[in-house]
Amino acid sequence: MSLIRPFAGLRPVAGRAADVCAPPYDVLNSEEARQRAKDKPWSFLHISKPEIDLPEGTDPYDPTVYAKAAENLERMRREGILVQDEQPCYYVYRLRMGDHVQTGLVAAASVADYDSNRIRKHEFTRPDKEDDRVRQIDALDAQTGPVLLAYKSDPEVDSLLEAVTATPPEVDIVADDGIGHQLWVVRDPALIEEITRRFEAMPSLYIADGHHRSASASRVAKARAAANPAHSGEEPYNYFLSVIFPHEQMKIFDYNRVVTDLGGRSPKEFLEAIKTAFDVTPSDEPVRPRGPGEFGLYLDGRWYRLNIHPELIPEDDPVKRLDVSLLADHLLEPILGISDPRTDKRIDFVGGIRGLKGLEQRVDSGEMAAAFSLYPTPMSALMAVADAGEVMPPKSTWFEPKLADGLVSHLLSE
């Protein structure tokens, strides 16, 4: 078994990609998905968020929802909207957001290498979310939500992918959110073999986003292998749908924090309290941290620049030296008593795509007492955590642009 392999993807027929392309299933709630798919019968949201085709208020985890997903997938295949490629292929996928461009490979990645940690993780998963994806995969007999992976940038691999993009793409669309999606199909056997060989030489890949999707793929593979007396390891269920980008091209936004109160302190008392671990400097403009160890604080209508005391940054702990950890360990927990950000209702998280104005609005409205802007977690830090076999604190990374659902799906019965 190889680290990755080509597969015969299920894709929109020529001219239908714009009709099918949809945001990832987990970035929209049911009502948002219902509005987004209104008057769009071929939107992939009818497969990834099928509760939108059932009565409002339907539990998204109800068995009828998964059955509806399978019905909608079959309908789109029957109507010729989605068609499977005739042979196993790789696909080169380019995302464009403003001036940012990243080019990666759509491939089937090995579940065995995920299980052995050659495909490395950096987050815990929740059983309920895994269960949801397992039911979805089993109902569809397909993986439709790609896992976002990264490889350590390799000039030769990067060049192989770039060379493919010198030809016209088979898909070239701009989604509703302004993100550009382009797709090239790699059918040449020699090039397919070369790509497979190059990736096989890599020591590891890294999950950037999609821990629940990859974990559920592993569970499905184990269950199907156990139920298959002729299991060989080469069946499609032994691989999962992925898009793999060079790490240097990936864009991580800041993932900021807002808190509901100051732990019983006045703004002045709070500023004094945090000086035990941070240098505090008032700022006449919104603070976007310039590097690791620096934070912005929006409090009582004004901004402050916080710089953690250098001696508090551990050199040899890839998790504790993350900015999200430094803020948690030296401010959120000791001063505000927020010890578990996963469950504490006093803290919320704001993706950096919303900008610093989004933080100001949460505080100025009175909903929150203070906001903290963070420097984006570097990909190198994510990989260091994964290499150490550790996990990152919750809400450490916010990747943009997002992969689209529906452009390529991986069928488990070919």
Structure tokens belonging to residue 84: 């499977």
pLDDT score recorded for residue 40: 96
The set of residues, in sequence order, having a beta carbon less than 8 Å from that of 361 and lying 6+ positions away, is: none
Asked if residue 141 and residue 262 are part of one domain, the reply reads no
Q: For residue 381, tell me if it sits in a domain.
A: no
Asked if residue 209 and residue 127 are part of one domain, the reply reads yes
pLDDT score recorded for residue 335: 97
Q: For residue 312, tell me if it sits in a domain.
A: yes
Asked if residue 225 and residue 274 are part of one domain, the reply reads no
Asked if residue 274 and residue 239 are part of one domain, the reply reads no
Q: For residue 109, tell me if it sits in a domain.
A: yes
Bridge partners of 100? 97
Q: For residue 140, tell me if it sits in a domain.
A: yes
Q: For residue 360, tell me if it sits in a domain.
A: yes
pLDDT score recorded for residue 414: 65
Asked if residue 328 and residue 232 are part of one domain, the reply reads no
Give me the long-range contacts of 228-237 (CB less than 8 A, separation at least 24).
233/1, 233/112, 234/1, 235/412, 236/7, 236/108, 236/410, 236/411, 236/412, 236/413, 236/414, 237/111, 237/412
Domains of the chain: total: 2
Q: For residue 315, tell me if it sits in a domain.
A: yes
288 neighbors 356 (Cβ within 8 angstroms): yes
Q: For residue 152, tell me if it sits in a domain.
A: yes
Domain that holds residue 175: 4-251+400-411
Q: For residue 388, tell me if it sits in a domain.
A: no
Asked if residue 167 and residue 43 are part of one domain, the reply reads yes
- Calpha distance 274→116 (Å, rounded): 42
Asked if residue 222 and residue 95 are part of one domain, the reply reads yes
pLDDT score recorded for residue 126: 86
pLDDT score recorded for residue 351: 85
Asked if residue 330 and residue 360 are part of one domain, the reply reads yes
Bridge partners of 244? 105, 149
Q: Going by DSSP bridges, is the β-strand pair 119-120/205-209 parallel, antiparallel, or unpaired?
A: parallel
Asked if residue 307 and residue 213 are part of one domain, the reply reads no
Low pLDDT (below 50) residues in the chain: none
Give me the long-range contacts of 43-51 (CB less than 8 A, separation at least 24).
43/19, 43/406, 44/20, 44/144, 44/405, 44/406, 45/405, 46/72, 46/76, 47/72, 47/73, 47/76, 47/140, 47/144, 47/405, 47/406, 48/22, 48/24, 48/144, 48/145, 48/405, 48/406, 49/25
Asked if residue 296 and residue 214 are part of one domain, the reply reads no
Asked if residue 45 and residue 19 are part of one domain, the reply reads yes
Bridge partners of 110? 239
The CATH number covering residue 308 comes to: 3.30.1760
Sign of the torsion formed by the C-alpha atoms of 113, 158, 406 and 212: positive
- Calpha distance 2→274 (Å, rounded): 51
Asked if residue 313 and residue 199 are part of one domain, the reply reads no
Structure tokens belonging to residue 339: 């010890």
